[in-house]
């Protein structure tokens, strides 16, 4: 089952506006992705379980509070290279997370067919995933969903998790439809977190209006 969560907080939307601007320099673009990673992580925490607890303050007084139970069960899997800054922000929230990487690229030279690309996976390193794990897949731009689908297929080979999150900046209706189908086929609950849904995928497979090639803008072409 797929659940779509669009983060419309003014802070997130202001950062997205900066990322969309073609005049934004490389370093500021990368910093923007880091900031959005933290925002998305804070939204995801709302779905984790909490437990009540008591602590003693420096004044010797007992105060009631909560602890987040599943923070030490998070596994972040980054789709390289564009998503690395997004993951940097996620780690500021999920500070105990184990991390994995998937090096994947759309084979654009073969073209897009029916809004789908062939995806070349060069390297996969994912920690063991158990029944109490929370998997966070980090993928900046989800245009057709081809890469995200392939990444999910690789992740589930390493074990069945309790829940799955997908952290992204921009997604499209085409990608959402594909991820809905994939999550149902895999029998997993997938919560998609993004800052915007853009309406169009052009003939090159780019999101419109989008923000261009996130990897090139963050790290150089």
How far is 76 from 67, CA to CA, in rounded Å?
Answer: 20
Token pair belonging to 149? 């689908």
Number of domains within the chain: 1
**Relative orientation angle of helices 10-20 and 26-45, to the nearest 10 degrees:** 150
Give the pLDDT band (50/70/90) at residue 152. very high
Range(s) of the domain holding residue 75: 2-219
How far is 20 from 96, CA to CA, in rounded Å?
Answer: 31
How far is 122 from 187, CA to CA, in rounded Å?
Answer: 26
- Residue 144 neighbours by CB under 8 Å, 6+ apart: 112, 115, 116, 117, 172, 174, 175, 178, 201, 205
CATH of the domain at 46: 3.40.50.2020
The pLDDT of residue 95 is: 93
- Digit-coded pLDDT (tens) for 9-29: 999 999 999 999 999 999 999
How far is 105 from 108, CA to CA, in rounded Å?
Answer: 8
**Cβ atoms of 217 and 26 closer than 8 Å:** yes
The model's pTM? 0.92
Token pair belonging to 137? 């897949």
């Amino acid at each position: 089952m797929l659940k779509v969560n669009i983060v419309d907080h003014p802070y997130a939307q202001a950062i997205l506006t900066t990322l969309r601007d073609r005049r934004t320099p490389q370093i500021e673009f990368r910093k923007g992705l880091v900031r959005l990673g933290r925002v998305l992580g804070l939204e995801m925490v709302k779905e984790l379980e909490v437990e009540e607890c008591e602590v003693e303050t420096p004044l010797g007084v007992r105060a009631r509070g909560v602890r987040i139970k599943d923070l030490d069960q998070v596994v972040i899997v980054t789709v390289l290279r564009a998503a690395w800054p997004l993951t940097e922000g996620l780690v500021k929230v999920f500070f105990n997370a184990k991390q994995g990487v998937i090096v994947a690229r759309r084979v654009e030279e073969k073209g897009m067919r029916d809004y789908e690309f062939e995806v070349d996976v060069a390297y996969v390193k994912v920690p063991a995933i158990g029944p109490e794990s929370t998997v966070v897949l980090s993928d900046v731009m989800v245009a057709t969903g081809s890469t995200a689908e392939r990444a999910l297929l690789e992740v589930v080979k390493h074990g069945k998790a309790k829940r799955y999150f997908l952290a992204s900046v921009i997604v499209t209706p085409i990608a959402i439809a594909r991820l809905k189908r994939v999550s149902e086929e895999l029998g997993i609950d997938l919560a998609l977190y993004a800052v915007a849904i853009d309406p169009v995928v052009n003939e090159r497979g780019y999101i419109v209006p989008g923000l261009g090639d996130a990897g090139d803008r963050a790290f150089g072409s």
